[in-house]
Chain A
Amino acid sequence: MIRKLVILALLSAACFISGGMLLSQHQDETLYPTPSLTKRMMLSDYFSVLRGGDGDTEVFEYCGDEGGGTVLILGGTHCDEPASYLAAYLLIETLDVQRGRVLIVPRANRSALTHNLQGEGHPQTFEVETLHGKRSFRMGSRYTNPLNQWPDPEVYLHSPSKQELSGSDSRNLNRCYPGRADGTYTERVAHALAELIKQEKVDLVIDLHEASPEYPVINAIVAHERAMDCAAFAVMELQGQGLEYSLEPSPQNYHGLSHRELGDHTNALATLMESANASQGRLRGRTDAQLVVTGRDKMYTRAAEIEMTRVPFGLEGIPLDIRVARHIEGTRQLVLAFNGLNAGKEVEFGGAPTYAEIVERGFGKFMHEEN
């Protein structure tokens, strides 16, 4: 009898602890926007069906004193690509907009931050050094949480193109654009983001991503055909700073991606950026919070030696600091290129640290907890 009670108590404790861990994954990290923030909105303000659900997510607006264009920055489309949402968090906590408007959705697929990808062994959280000590961030998944959308179809039929994709891509936000008002959970999030772009008359969309070091489109800006001139100027400038970037056109026949559908279905110039994330790659070795932050991996260094990666990968790895720095600098150069091509619609901002500053001190040192 006593033995049974002890077992029951231990089991209850295990359930309680793991339940707590699971619930903690649903807790959004607190962000500390700069005083330059003009409005804090929710995505459901643009599509009320999302209100109160896991898909509803924050929209931060920074409006300059002078009128100009509107830039939308999307982080956290894929939540196992931490540089994408951390770059957005960093902008939220450093931005000072003088002209035009910057909108930031740091957790574009908020549901994807509430779980890990099965079988990847990813950590639930990782820590970053800031001026106020260590700050913890969640590592999420590429896909919407099955709790929000289940089960996957055998074949996912993209709307409206009718292109066939693998079933799990029905929960991949970047295969669900332009979205559907009466579609799946993920399609509704995509629809809401497209609505935001239309209602706010967004001129330039920058969708932040990461990819495996062996993925062919990496250290790249991908652009819709209407955004190619803007992206070309930005890439030339980035290359001029000694940063490896390539410019890739959005394929016309590959549907569901932001750079294709947002460019086709809204007036915005649609762009997407990729940095190299070892913790996402297939060739990686030991997977833990260290790997996410340091981006160091012996297996990848070896893979690079035998030319199996698309980016150089030395023993020093590709740390989160460099990946965040690339996204910040890439964003800056895209906006500057946009300004050069769109007189009267300029967006001017300061506050965000430079590439060199982030690489030297670490992005965490620029994050604020007392704005």
Chain B
Amino acid sequence: MRRLFVLAIFISAVLANGQTPYQTPVLLTTGGQSADGLFMKNVLTKEGIEFQYKPLATVADLDSAKTLIMVIGGSSKGLGAARISAEDEIARMTALLDSAAAKRIPVIAAHLGGKNRRGSLSDPFNDLGVQKSNHFFVVKGGDDDGYFKKRTNVRKIPYLMVDKTADLGAPLKQLFTKPAGE
């Protein structure tokens, strides 16, 4: 919690400096091994945002990253394909998110898979992702019950709902661009 607080101050400080905290290259990973990470990969490619896609990224992968994007939501097939248990995936996510906070690497969490990525399998990943991120995106259908809205409100982090994944292009691009003005 304290680390997050420090990071929040850090982010407001750089924002005040007229510089975005969201720098490239991005480390793109998943939280729950769903294939939805590929949707984000498509968006980042299209927007020309430099990234590395590692569904099973570890703390070491953060060395070369300036922003972490985690696409959250679980997939039993995905966990099976990656041969990782739900518990180990939670542990991997926790280590990665805590390390990002310690290294002052801002975290964007995104939920892209709609209702299919909610429920008993997905929500532990969803909760962890939204609790330890600095910016949150959700595609319509994934937050009909206000699950994410409520959590982002409590944590006072930006929340944006878009109609479809492709609509994330513009707001993401903006995050990675220096604010205009001065």
Are the chains A and B members of one assembly?
Answer: yes
Please determine whether B76 and A216 come into contact, CB atoms closer than 8 angstroms: yes
Interface residues in B106-151 (C-beta closer than 8 Å to A): 113-117, 119, 139, 141
Please determine whether B35 and A248 come into contact, CB atoms closer than 8 angstroms: yes
Please determine whether B77 and A222 come into contact, CB atoms closer than 8 angstroms: yes
* Interface of B, helix, strand, loop or mixed by DSSP: helix
Query: Which of B36, B81, B166 contacts A240 (CB under 8 A)?
Result: B166
Please determine whether B39 and A244 come into contact, CB atoms closer than 8 angstroms: no
- Closest chain-A Cβ to B143's Cβ sits at a distance in Å of 14
Q: Which of A107-115, A171-179, A230-238 participates in binding chain B? A: A230-238
Residue of B whose beta carbon sits closest to that of A337: B42
A252 partner residues in chain B, CB cutoff 8 A: 81
A253 partner residues in chain B, CB cutoff 8 A: 80, 83
Chain A count of residues within 8 A CB distance of the other chain: 28
- Closest chain-B Cβ to A14's Cβ sits at a distance in Å of 48
Q: Beyond A219-B116, A222-B77, A240-B165, is A247–B42 a contact (Cβ under 8 Å)? A: no
B76 partner residues in chain A, CB cutoff 8 A: 216
Please determine whether A232 and B39 come into contact, CB atoms closer than 8 angstroms: yes
Interface residues on B, range: 20 to 34
Any chain A CB within 8 A of the CB of B78? yes
**Would you mind naming 21 contact pairs between A and B with Cβ atoms under 8 Å apart?**
A216-B76, A219-B116, A228-B35, A228-B38, A232-B39, A232-B41, A235-B39, A236-B165, A240-B165, A244-B114, A244-B115, A246-B36, A246-B75, A247-B34, A247-B38, A249-B81, A251-B80, A252-B81, A254-B80, A310-B116, A312-B115
- B residues sitting closer than 8 Å to A (CB atoms) are 34-36, 38-39, 41-42, 75-78, 80-81, 83, 113-117, 119, 139, 141, 163-166
- A residues sitting closer than 8 Å to B (CB atoms) are 216-217, 219-220, 222-223, 228-229, 231-233, 235-236, 239-240, 244, 246-254, 307, 310, 312
